[in-house]
Chain A
Amino acid sequence: MGGSVMAVTINGTTGISLVQDGTINSAKLVADSVTSAKLADGSITTHKIADSTEVLLDATYTNGDATVTVSSTSSLSVGMNIKMSFKSRNVSSGNIIPKVGLKIASITNSTTFEMSAAAGQSGTDIPTQFTTGVTTDKLAEHVITNTKADPIDVQLAPYWVNLEYSQNGNTGHTYITNYGTKISASNGNNGPSAIAKVQGSSGHGDFLIRWVPGYFWGFSGIRVGDMAGSPHIGQPGAGSTQSNPAGFIYYQFLNNSSNNVRYITKWDGSSATTLQNASGGTNNVEWSMWRINGLTKVNDGTTTTTLQSSGDTRDYYFSNNGQGPQSCELKEAYRLTRGGA
């Protein structure tokens, strides 16, 4: 049928059940013709999103020109995201391409294509990454939280990060020493102090953390929370610790001289239980917490307490207790390969 048909309404019950001949490609849809109102919520499922692909090629750029030359364009396609590869060599000044937003606008021939913007510097055989699928350009800054990050980037490690002041702490005091492994405050009872988080988190598998709590008037030691209950922990506005979140586990492994006790509590998501309140605080003694094959325990230098007898896969974060005077020195902290211990 020749000519064109305008403003056709397809019966709302029948709809279009099949496009018989070929597919509807982007060329058949005018720009912006499919609006969000025309797609039902949840109608695009994960398996309908194309898998990401990645191609690494050496590319040659010319300052002020959008044309790029590569050995072959056969593996490239229009719309691919373009980034400098992490292997890229440096140039003396300026950026060859912007960090975000650059794409392949068109493919000219077997060795050249056009970018969506001109190069800012010239460069020959620059390692360049071309990607499809959901690229970083589609993600806002800082939306990747700890639980969504690459495990390598959130490995548990024995040093303090994300310091925040407590009890009127301020810059007039030094809280972190020993190359980042010790946090302490000695400024009177409930005097200026600080809280910090141990680098990384336990992950869902096996782990071990050892520390030496202080022996002062205030309670020293480790507090442990479930990352699932506090996914933005450590980010601006979220703080280094969130006590007793509703619906999520939270532990305290503490010690002091004034009560002279080893004090271990568990918040199960709705109520708190004292697991240990034993006379005799510890002075310069290592405590430890570990999980092997889903069995999680803590040792207070004298007694081992089982925190969960099986099936524990929580991704835990660790912080110190900020009640001064206090101290907590990290001795070691690491994730273990399941079955590796």
Chain B
Amino acid sequence: MDFSNYNEAVIARAAALCGYNKSVSLNSDGTLEWWGEETHPTDSEMNAQMSAAQTAFDSQVDARDDSNGALDAPDAD
């Protein structure tokens, strides 16, 4: 599945909504990079959380002066 339309910070949020708090990122071909982990959310599980993750990301972007929507972003100066 191709996730390249999503910001990587949104992908990290979707993984967290799946209960997965380890590292995840986006490969250049649009697939998800799970960094060697054998147990992780499936593409469909991730896809099911993308909308909610995007909403949470956008909400945080609007609320911060630095427009940073990443999960666990420290308070802006």
Residues in A lying within 8 Å of B, measured CB to CB? 167-168, 172, 186-192, 217-219, 243, 254, 256, 258-259, 261, 263, 265, 274, 277, 323-325
Contacts and interface: CB of A to CB of B under 8 A. Distances in A.
B66 interface: yes
A337 B18 CA distance: 52
Contact of B9 (A168, A265, A277): A168
B22 to A, nearest CB: 5
Nearest to A218: B23
Nearest to B20: A258
B72 A243 contact: no
Interface of B: 7-9, 11-13, 16, 21-25, 28, 35-37, 66, 68-74
B8 A167 contact: yes
B72 A172 contact: no
A189 B36 contact: no
Contacts of B8: 167, 190, 323
Contacts of B25: 190, 323
Nearest to A256: B23
B35 A188 contact: no
B23 A274 contact: no
A224 to B, nearest CB: 17
Contact of A191 (B23, B24, B68): B68
Nearest to B37: A259
A188 B68 contact: yes
Contacts of A243: 28
15 contacts: A187-B73, A188-B69, A188-B74, A189-B16, A189-B70, A189-B71, A190-B7, A190-B12, A191-B9, A217-B23, A218-B23, A258-B22, A259-B23, A263-B35, A323-B8
Contacts of A188: 9, 68-74
B5 to A, nearest CB: 14
Contact of A189 (B9, B28, B35): B9
B74 A186 contact: yes
Contacts of A259: 22-23, 35-37
A218 B23 CA distance: 6
Contact of A187 (B13, B22, B24, B74): B74
A259 to B, nearest CB: 5
A254 B8 CA distance: 19
A324 B68 CA distance: 12
A189 B74 contact: no
The 9 closest A-B pairs by CB, nearest first: A188-B70, A191-B70, A188-B73, A190-B8, A189-B12, A190-B12, A190-B9, A258-B22, A189-B71
A229 to B, nearest CB: 16
Given A168-B7, A258-B22, A191 B73 contact: yes
Contacts of B12: 189-190
Nearest to B13: A189
A265 B34 CA distance: 13
Contact of A219 (B16, B23, B69): B23
Contact of A217 (B28, B37, B72): B72
A177 B56 CA distance: 32
A48 B36 CA distance: 55
Given A189-B9, A191-B73, A277 B21 contact: no
A189 B60 CA distance: 13
A167 B13 CA distance: 14
Contacts of A258: 21-23
B36 A277 contact: yes
